[in-house]
Structure 1
Amino acid sequence: MSSENGHPEEEPQQAEQLALIRELVRKADVPRAKPRTWRGAPLAAELPVARVLVDKGPVHLDRLWDYAVPAELDADAQPGTRVRVRFGAGARNVHQGRREGGGLLDGFIVERVAESDYQGPLAAIAQVLSPEPVLGPQLLRLCRAVADRYAGSLADVLQLAVPPRHARIEAEPSPALLPPPAAPQPGSWSRYPTGPGFLDALARGGSPRAVWTALPGEHWAMELARAAAATLASRRGVLIVVPDGRSAARVDAALGELLGPGRHVLLTADTGPEERYRRWLAVNRGAVRAVVGTRAAMFAPVRDLGLLAIWDDGDGSHAEPHAPQPHAREVLLLRAAHQKAAFLLGGFSCTVEAAQLVRTGWARPLAADRERIRAVAPLVRTVGDGELARDEAARAARLPSLAWRVAREGLERGPVLVQVPRRGYVPRLACDRCREPARCADCAGPLEAHDADGALHCGWCGRRQDGWHCAECGGTRLRARVVGARRTAEELGRAFPAVPVRTSGRDQVLDTVPDTPALVVSTPGAEPVAEGGYAAALLLDGWALLSLPDLRAGEEALRRWLGAAALVRGQEAGGQVVIVAEPTLRPVQALVRWDPAGHAVRELSERAELGFPPVSRMASVSGPADAVAELLAAAELPSEAELLGPVPVTSRGAAPGEERVLVRVRPGLGGELAAALKTAQAVRLARGAGPVVRLRMDPPDIG
């Protein structure tokens, strides 16, 4: 048989043999490459280059560096592991290790590649600290996104996301993953029209997104636990972030009651570094799929995330104080978007950011109807016109007769909560006639009354001030601007000598109090839970919260009031709340109606008119005036960027002459603004130019 070109066709077996011979000849003609080595030691045969993120915080070093992988470290030096590398002067471009010298720094291997972009010899990885892969691809992508959003460095974010290593813990085996639980019954979620549907969607593997205005009472922790159980039933993971350890303990107890042991972990600072790392490793290894914790838990590497939930997102504890200062709510929103997971933002109050999520349609409202709210919320009373007719001093008095009467009635039925807006013993003073703060004649610092001698002293310079008079109205009488919890407790103890008085605040935070008559004086956020609920609550010095020079003053005051009022028995059970503040103000009216969502919507409308966040993105640039001006001049800001300021920085710890400038852009340009400021900062730091300039995206205190 002949082929088309006239040559006989080769038998199939002969053809295969000839092809094999030709391939061997071809390889023999190519000169063999010499084995790659570093200082005489062989390198890994495959993927001998590791791209390492060095644990170095400044933004101008926010890049990957290439290092050679010695053959002896090949098996352990895998992506996600911790390593030690030499780092110092001599690194020349984005993907190169240095030749020699330099100090040893910790880092993470991000990936292994076959070749480096750098043509010269690479330094080798000095040590693999642990073969445990602690930086997975999803966690790395999240940290990168957070660094970009907040104009920070990836290394800074990783310090927040990955806990310090404890070698002994890594040697311990993780528990076995338990089978998913059965989908829970709706329970108290039935109080919300869409509550059972939300749980059902989670159990079926859906990804609903909701802003939940929780009803008052202590059901919220179990409701979060039921949402977690429904998600676990769909074989997906859950992450719940709460503002403090007490809230975390309540959700932890609810999860334990509903799911039993071994299905979730609690991640808080109270557990200690070793135990926290043990639990974090169990989550990272996939042995546990449910996490509840405080702020740092926002980065917990939960496998197959199905639900991300945050409770009381307006609490300042959710904002990380360390660079780049991310907010837990925004981190969870990023995770929900990237991983297509369900999202639940809940609380007794409602922030403008939550209202923005509903207005844009990204999330749906989840709330009870008005009849249900009226049934379970306490009766809220203000110092109004009727009370003024009976007590002309009620508007000026710190504790008017209505509050005294409600306290007496409440003590006949149980404990009474008294919330004061400041902690401490020494009060700050103000003019009794015009309420202007009393200032030092020498340095303009705040005046304080010391019990030791009864005289006035400056809180800044300490000088004694005799013969004070108000510079505004000429008045000579003073009143306490805010009286602390301890002083309030003393005053109430004298007024109710037969009633025990307990305090909860900075020095000692109570978790619970018994259902017996007592006065419980607390600062905001430290209110203990009363068994069966408080019979009444007094919210004192409301004007002090509302007069704070901050854009969020009204929102924050309402959040603190609602948090305390939610611990009081419902109106049907006789629960009452007295708010000592101007009755006509919007936050006070929102409390009376128990309408935090409506208050947030109106606040959002005003923010939109003024162009303030969250309807815009802002960055704060602060530092010495010349340095701030230099950085802003060098930054390639978006063309629509608007500069507000400069204004002097008056916060505690600020150096003389510091200024702040706010940079505002419309939504959608926040990433471009962050990148521009980060680049300008990196160039400035690389040149070693002058004093530090602080950057913060979306600052919470814009004034």
Structure 2
Amino acid sequence: MRSGGGAPALSTSAAAAAGEPQEEQASLFAAPAAAVPETAPHDPGRDAAARGRGLRTTAGFDVVRELPVASVRLVGVLPHLDRPFEYAVTPETAEAGPGMRVRVRFSGRDTEGLVLDRLAEPTTDRALAPLRRLVSTDVVVPPAMMRVCEDVAARSGGTVGDVLRLALPPRHARAEKADRAAADKEQAQEQGTAAEVPDAAAEETAPETSESQESQEPQESQESPQSQEPPEPGPRPGDRYVGLAALLYRAGDPSGPVPRAALTLDAGDPWTVVTADALADLDDGQGALVIAPDQRDVARLSRVLTARGLAHEVLAGTEGPEKRYRTFRRVLRGATRIVLGNRSAAFAPVRDLALVICVDESDDLLEEPRAPYPHVRTVLQCRSREERCALLFLSASDSVPLRALADAGYLARLDPLPAPVTSVRPHIVAMDQYLRDREGASGRSRLPQEAMRVIRRGLTRGPILVQVPRSGYVPAIACTFCGTRAQCPHCAAQLSITGRGGHLHCRVCGRREDGYRCPECDRTQVRAMVIGSTRTAEELSRAFPAVTLLVSGGAHGALEDSEVPDDAIVVATPGAEPSPPDRFAAALLLDADAMLGRAAFDADVEAVRRWRNAIALVRSADQGGEVLVVGTATLPAIRDLVAHRSGAFLDRVLEDRRDLDLPPFGRVAEIIGDKEACRSFLETTDLPDGSEVFGPVDLEGPDAAGRARAVVRLDPHRSRELADALRAGVAARSARKAHGSLRVRLDPPDVF
């Protein structure tokens, strides 16, 4: 007999005893909290009927009658096994539905999986193993999110299982239990409030006595009409950008094209304020996701939203597993509509997602270091496509990938309305030839007199920011005569000096090198190639002994925004600059030539991005803000800082990359691994026609013995072909159990 309204179970030997018609799949999940389904008695006489129906299982368990087959996607399996597998649904796992976590037996061990679908008939003639356990009834991966993961895997040339491992935080049973209790409590409170509403409404509609009416009339007459009118809102920074209001108006609209745009902010417009205004303009019930590079950026935006009374959740990778999973469940059940986070929050399951905002997408913190190495930009593009949510990129400088997407018509560029330059940015000056000649010998120094004058003027109005490229004291040295970098003779790492009067030592193996000789010219004298933040602070402390001097970044750690006094000098490395509430009065950008001399093909674009992020922390020229760039003023990157909203620099960069077939005008893949593994992978993988293969070449370095690197380049319009070919090659290598380690990445940031 049936003990309740649940679906009856079917024995493994009687899988389809009477050929009863199957109900539709939707009916199975209409009431997932139904009673536990009753199992049918084991009847060996019905084995023939079960085989005729096509359902074969291993022995020792029962299966349910309705939709007894579950299609499961395994998490973190080998590449050649990245496909759905079918399992039999037992009475204990009858509630398993699409998007729920389950445990299955695979390759002799318990493996985590996600249910894709429930089927009435298997698609294979093999015997099905059972679902061992239903981990949770939470739908952690809705169908739209599963499509996003599949799209990200296809674009990155990886496996869906690896993408799911990035998207799902580890389950924490205690956090799940606590959040379930909190959800039940909230639901009970809502039901109690709803029950009190009729009584309150009855009291409001009850007839009032004449005395109460008389007592209310004078009060209504005494109220002035001006006090009832809300104050008119003042101008907002985001209102200056043409098209932003239209994008927010169309956010979440299921009809029509999906709005996507890139917005380059002026230095005087705080990104936190523009983002908060955009979130406040969304309709009630619409979800939003904001991704920022650093946890400090997330905290800054969180403080602004808290001050405005906008409820939100912070989903960050720095939180503990319990707190992170509890936040994940709150987002999953729709307890809040606004989610903030860094790279790990790109897959946050926001309910009714209407708007996604990515801040400073060119920051290297948004590059995923785990396979299949997708960039946050790629993940958000896939979510915008599958969930039809508006996509907005905010940054302080133009980005090469975003400019290419805008030129291709994928993104709209939101330019600001004309405004006085002095009101939207500080006064920016570069140490040109005139200033250097005017100062004489001091003009060629690292800290010219003009820099000292900028600091003295700025200290009368507020704190000063000094940005240097590297942390430490003297992080890199070279031969005085020939300029060869000083390297450790033991491990080939760079030699450095840790403090004043210190000795040469290696930062990797700790070797002290007292008798260093240049391997090129055999000389012993060395000079500093780059001056670190500690050495810079020491030099400024001698020039300004009565001023508070702080160091941010490196071994000193990042300085908090509230720790910056009004009369302080802050020496910071790129990305570690604090953001005081009233901004900096002035800023010095030191060693600009060293920042541009980084060994990377995008060193100039990256330097401009870091400089503009520092300039955005300085007050406008109307408020006395000024910036001095100490470097070669004739370089295009430095000239771009002085010019206001000029696209000449980025146009030149794009033209050069187009001529050289560099990204984004060429899809590039990097293969790194053991020499033999790299060579055999290139020989056995069927690459698309027209692919250019460079290498493999031996890697250099102390840990690169026996390893090689190869680069494959193809036209970007055929990028999906390259991704499919690489994924097939990795899967074939995994199926052969080939020896040696190998890593394949598409569009790595440091490929050239």
TM over 0.5: yes
| d(CA) in 1 for partners of 2:621, 2:234 | 28
Q: Which amino acid aligns with 1:532?
A: D
Using the size of structure 2 for normalisation, the TM-score is 0.81
Distance 1:105 1:596, change over 3 A: farther
The residue aligned with 1:588 is 638
Amino acid at match of 2:133: Q
The answer on whether the counterparts of 1:203 and 1:230 sit within 8 Å (CA) in structure 2 is no
Cα distance, 1:228–1:437 mapped onto 2, change above 3 Å:
same
Mapped partners of 2:453, 2:438: distance in 1: 13
Q: Could you tell me how far 1:247 is from its partner in structure 2?
A: 0.9
SS in 2 for 1:682: helix
Q: Distance in 2 between matches of 1:112 and 1:186?
A: 54
Pair 381,528 (structure 1): closer, same or farther in 2 beyond 3 Å: same
C-alpha root-mean-square deviation of aligned residues, in Å? 2.9
Match of 1:425 in 2: 473
Structure 2 vs 1, CA of residues 374 and 601 (structure 1 numbering), >3 Å: closer, same or farther? Answer: farther
1:29-108 residue pairs with structure 2 within 5 A?
33=49, 39-74=59-94, 76-88=95-107, 102-108=108-114
Amino acid at match of 2:181: E
2:413 alignment partner, SS class: strand
8 Å contact kept, 1:215–1:373? no
Specify which of 522, 531, 540 is matched with residue 492 of structure 1. Answer: 540
| 2:151 equivalent in structure 1 | 145
Q: Call closer, same or farther: CA 1:373–1:353 in 2, change over 3 Å.
A: farther
Secondary structure of 1:695's aligned partner: strand
* Superposed CA offset, 1:175-194 (max 9, x none): 5799xxxxx98722123344
**Residue of structure 2 in register with 1:14 after alignment:** none
Change (3 A) 1:297 1:32: same
Say if 1:633 and 1:253 are closer, same or farther in 2 by CA, change over 3 A.
Answer: same
Query: Does residue 604 of structure 2 align to residue 604 of structure 1?
Result: no
Q: 1:481 to 1:300 in 2, by over 3 A?
A: same
1:386 Cα offset (Å): 1.1
Q: Which residue of 2 aligns with 1:402?
A: 450
1:122 aligns with 2:128: yes
Name the counterpart of 1:159.
Answer: 165
Supply the AA of the counterpart residue of 1:115.
E
Unaligned runs of 5+ in 2: 1-17, 22-45, 191-232
State the distance in 2 between where 1:531 and 1:606 align: 40
Question: 1:349-387: CA deviations, max 9, x gaps?
Answer: 121011112111221211325644443211122221112
Establish whether residue 640 from structure 1 lines up as the match of residue 679 from structure 2: no
Task: Please tell me whether the aligned partners of residues 186 and 226 of structure 1 are also in contact (alpha carbons under 8 angstroms).
Answer: no
Residue 647 to residue 572, structure 1, CA distance change in 2 (3 Å): farther
| Separation (CA, whole Å) in 1 of partners of 2:418 and 2:550 | 35
Distance 1:158 1:281 in 2: 16
Paired AA for residue 64 in structure 2: A
Name which of structure 1's ranges 620-629 and 55-64 shifts more when overlaid on structure 2. Answer: 55-64
Matched AA of 1:42: D
Q: 281-290 vs 153-162, which deviates more?
A: 281-290
1:662 paired residue among 704, 711, 715: 711
Aligned residue type for 1:228: L
Residue identity (%):
39
Secondary structure, aligned partner of 1:530:
coil
2:115 to 106, 109, 118: 109
- Aligned twin of 1:558: 608
- State the 1:425 CA deviation: 3.4
CA distance 1:490–1:48, change in 2 (3 Å):
same
Look up the match of 2:627.
577
Match of residue 668 from structure 2: 618
What residue identity is the alignment partner of 2:618? V
Q: Aligned letter for 1:55? A: V
Aligned partners of 1:218 and 1:567 also within 8 Å: no
| Kept in 2: contact 1:590–1:596 (CA 8 A) | yes
Write the deviation string for residues 489-522 of structure 1: whole angstroms up to 9, x where unpaired. Answer: 2221122100010111133212214452111111
Alpha-carbon distance, 1:286 to partner: 2.8
Q: Secondary structure at the match of 1:532?
A: coil
Q: Per the alignment, in what secondary structure is the counterpart of residue 283 of structure 2?
A: helix
What's the counterpart of residue 684 of structure 1? Answer: 733
Matches of 1:664 and 1:488, distance apart in 2: 42
By how many angstroms is 1:402 displaced? Answer: 1.7
Within the candidate set 347, 350, 356, 1:299 is matched to: 347
2-side partners of 1:33 and 1:307: how far apart?
52
Q: Distance in 2 between matches of 1:592 and 1:503?
A: 27
Equivalent of 1:172 in 173, 176, 181? 181
Taking a change above 3 Å as real, the CA distance of residues 350 and 390 of structure 1, as seen in their structure-2 partners, is same
Shift of 1:210: 1.4
C-alpha change, 1:565 and 1:476, in structure 2 (3 Å) is farther
CA 200–107 in structure 1, closer or farther in 2 if over 3 Å, else same: closer
State the 1:61 CA deviation: 1.9
Asked whether the equivalents of residues 514 and 531 of structure 1 are also in contact (C-alpha less than 8 Å), the reply is no
Whether 1:249 aligns to 2:299 is yes
Aligned to 1:220: 271
Cα distance between partner residues in 1 of 2:490 and 2:313: 55
SS of residue matched to 1:644: strand
SS of 1:668 mapped into structure 2: helix
Residue identity opposite 2:72 in structure 1: V
CA gap of 1:186–1:545, structure 2 versus 1, over 3 A, is same
Contact 1:387 1:394 in 2 (8 A): no
Change (3 A) 1:249 1:598: farther
Shift of 1:608: 1.3
- Per mean C-alpha deviation after superposition, the further-off stretch among 216-225 and 415-424 is 216-225
The one-letter amino acid paired with 2:140 is: V
State the Cα distance separating 1:329 from its structure 2 match.
Answer: 1.0
1:282 aligned to 2:330? yes
Residues 455 and 466 in structure 1, CA contact (< 8 A), matched pair in contact too: no
Shift of 1:598: 4.4
Once the two structures are TM-superposed, the CA of residue 217 in structure 1 deviates from its matched residue by 4.0
Q: Relative to 1, partners in 2 of residues 1:594 and 1:648: Cα closer, same or farther, differing over 3 Å?
A: farther
Give distance in 1, aligned partners of 2:400 and 2:89.
50
> Does the 8 A contact of 2:477 with 2:496 survive in 1?
yes
CA displacement at 1:236 relative to structure 2 = 2.8
Distance 1:200 1:432 in 2: 61
Are the aligned partners of 2:252 and 2:390 in contact in 1 as well (CA < 8 Å)?
Answer: no
- Partner SS for 1:691: coil
Q: Give the Cα–Cα distance (whole angstroms) in 2 for the partners of residues 432 and 388 of structure 1.
A: 24
Map of 2:214 onto structure 1: none
| Letter in structure 1 aligned against 2:80 | H
The answer to whether the 8 Å contact 1:62/1:153 transfers is yes
- Between 1:556-565 and 1:458-467, the stretch displaced more is 458-467
Q: Assess, with a 3 A threshold, how the Cα gap between structure 1 residues 568 and 347 changes in structure 2: closer, same or farther.
A: same
- Within 5 Å, give how 1:392-541 maps onto structure 2: 392-393=440-441, 396-432=444-480, 435-440=483-488, 445-449=493-497, 451=499, 454-459=502-507, 462=511, 464-466=513-515, 468=517, 471=520, 477-506=525-554, 507-512=556-561, 513-514=563-564, 516-541=566-591
Instruction: After superposition, give the CA deviation of every residue in 1:202-230 in whole Å (9 maximum; x if it has no partner).
Output: 48777422110112246311211222232
| Displacement after TM superposition at 1:324 (Å) | 0.9
2:516 and 2:327 mapped to 1: Cα distance?
Answer: 61
Counterpart for residue 348 of structure 1? 396
Deviations 1:248-274 (A, max 9, x none): 11222233333533xx21111344322
Q: Given the superposition, is the C-alpha separation of residues 585 and 470 from structure 1 closer, same or farther in structure 2, using an over 3 Å criterion?
A: farther
Shift of residue 43 of structure 1?
A: 0.6
> Distance between the aligned counterparts of 1:583 and 1:407, measured in 2?
20
Moved more, 252-261 or 576-585: 252-261
Secondary structure of 1:72's aligned partner: helix
For residue 454 of structure 1, report the CA deviation from its aligned partner.
4.0
